[in-house]
Amino acid sequence: MTGDVPAQITLYPPSTDIEGSGWRLLAPTLWHAGLIWYHYEMVVFDLTPIELRIWCTFTDRHAFESWRQHELIIKRCEGILVSQIDVVETVTPWARHDGRCTCNESTEFVLVGHGFGNNKSVLYCCDCLGYIPNYHTSELVGNTYGKMQSWALASGHVYDIWMLTDDLEDWALNELRSPKSEINSSGRLIAQLIGNHIKKPVWYLLFAHSGTRTNVCPSCGLRCGPAKWNAKKLACHACQIVY
Ligand SMILES: [Zn+2]
Ligand SMILES: [Zn+2]
């Protein structure tokens, strides 16, 4: 069983010109509310009637079943909510579907940027290794939420630059693996801010090339052992990073 729910939402706008209309707002508002993951598609079909289809993945079953009652959706998409909306669950075999955190009370978390096959949650539970849905993360982390999502998107772009360009390949790789690069400095600071806010340890996942990984912490030089919650990762307790 997977935690998140891929779905197709169909709306029926009066014209195909949705650029300047409120019809285009539903998908980004679902993302802002933390109810779907960032990667969604929106296409208008000039049929009779006209259809606006949104393909997206709800963060979990709760989000899938209750999105119409979310206050942000009611505020921004009132007109859409009173129109006809068809929602069906779909199958996306190409997407990775992780398990949702099932703990009543997680004791530790890990902050994970986008890229490396992860373009979904930013916060994972160290007890069950499940992801935290974004709407729940926003309740947990408070004011840091927007900053955290922007950082996660930026880290995904740096990863894409590393994978997809020649000119900036070295710069991007250095950003990803250097503990003091701009992307990692801000990520570590965000992990710290979240940890202070929720009063629980929040680890920072630092990218490491598997061939170059040793038990010497890339940040402070102390010797590291396996993380107690994930034997495949090394953990530095002084720096609160795993790599
Ligand atoms: Zn958990
Ligand atoms: Zn260290």
The ligand with the least distance to the CA atom of 104 is 1
List of domains in the chain: 5-89 (3.30.70.100), 109-242 (no CATH)
Residues lying with their CB under 5 A of ligand 2, a single-atom ion: 217, 219-220, 236, 238-239
Query: What pLDDT, in 10s, does the model give residues 191-221?
Result: 999 999 999 999 999 998 778 899 999 999 9
* Those residues with Cβ within 8 angstroms of residue 94's Cβ, 6 or more apart along the chain or in another chain: none
Sort residue 136 into left (φ over 0), alpha (ψ -120 to 50) or beta.
alpha
The single-letter code of the amino acid at 100 is R
Query: What pLDDT, in 10s, does the model give residues 36-81?
Result: 999 899 999 999 999 999 999 999 999 999 999 999 999 999 999 9
Structure tokens at 103: 């703990």
**Residue 119 alpha carbon to ligand 2 centre in Å:** 26
**Residue 8 alpha carbon to ligand 1 centre in Å:** 28
Percentages helix, strand, coil for the chain (3-state, rounded to 5) are 35, 20, 40
